[in-house]
Amino acid sequence: MRILFLGAPGAGKGTQCKKLASKYSLAHLSSGDILRDAVKNGTQAGLAAKEFMDKGMLVPDNVLIDLFREKLAQPACSKGFILDGFPRNLAQAESLDGLLSELKANLDKVIDLKTADDLLEERITGRRVCPNKACNAVYHIKFSKPKQDGVCDLCGTELSHRSDDKPELVKQRLSVYHELTSPLIEFYRGKQLLATVNGEGEQEQIFADILATLN
Ligand code: ADP
């Protein structure tokens, strides 16, 4: 199964993609996690990405395309994958078409996780993440609290607040989403791959709705 998720920052893509990846043993390729990892490791891609991420802007297309070309060709993706955060504009979507045809692979479904903007700001600013790369669990100070304040339930690591999850950058990221990423909804509707899922409500219900679109 090869699935792509669309949705604004804070729509819950990461949470749902992790559940889906684990249910079907799919590779979960999160562009944000891949980029943050590259920044942390000081790779060339990371050095190129950092200044854009710090401003809530899109990282240049060629950085993402090179990273995903490499990831998609890895054996971990051969049984299927979930794309989370890539593509994020039309040029990237067209490049992805090219990468997939090189691999003789098609997308099975594109899921648009739809959430009203006023909910997103609160979801993002209250988000806390586990910085342990092997875990990457996501919490929320109000909606999805860890059992012990500030500590990951799964691995015990101290939770952190992403530097771009601050209120001043959230508006910028949302406006980038509406301007550059949301046109992909029509792009994939045109390819008859699109399914829209309501991203508001209980995580379990949202997950059930996602599974229903895949069956
Ligand atoms: P969110 O979806 O909550 O904004 P991500 O973790 O997906 O968070 O992305 C964080 C940042 O990484 C983005 O603001 C952007 O700078 C960069 N980024 C992620 N994916 C892409 C992409 N496909 N193209 C360009 N930049 C990207």
pLDDT value, residue 141:
93
pTM (two decimals): 0.91
Instruction: Please give the pLDDT value at position 164.
Output: 86
The CATH T-level fold of domain 2-115+194-214 is Rossmann fold (3.40.50)
| Torsion angles phi and psi, residue 82, rounded to 5 | -120, 125
pLDDT number for residue 136: 87
Q: Whose CA is nearest to atom 13 of ligand 1?
A: 53
Residue 201, SS3 per DSSP: coil
C-beta 92 within 6 A of ligand 1: yes
Residue with tokens 């045809």: 101
What is residue 163's predicted lDDT score, i.e. its pLDDT? 84
Tell me the C-alpha distance between 2 and 80, whole Å. 5
Cα gap 105→126, rounded to integer Å: 38
Instruction: Calculate the alpha carbon distances from 90 to 85, 86, 180, 185, 195 in Å.
Output: 13, 11, 8, 10, 18
Encoded tokens for 199:
């991203």
Identify the three-state secondary structure at position 116: coil
Active site residue 123: no
**Catalytic annotation on 173?**
yes
Strand partners, 44: none
- Tell me, what's the pLDDT at 139? 93
Q: Using a 6 Å cutoff on CB, does residue 46 contact ligand 1?
A: no
- Terminal CA-to-CA distance of the chain, rounded, Å? 11
Predicted pLDDT at 45: 95
4 CA → ligand 1 middle, Å: 15
- Catalytic annotation present for 127: yes
**How far apart (Å, rounded) are the C-alpha atoms in residues 191 and 80?**
20
pLDDT along the chain (215 residues), means of 10: 96 93 96 94 95 95 96 94 98 97 95 92 91 90 93 96 87 93 97 96 94 94
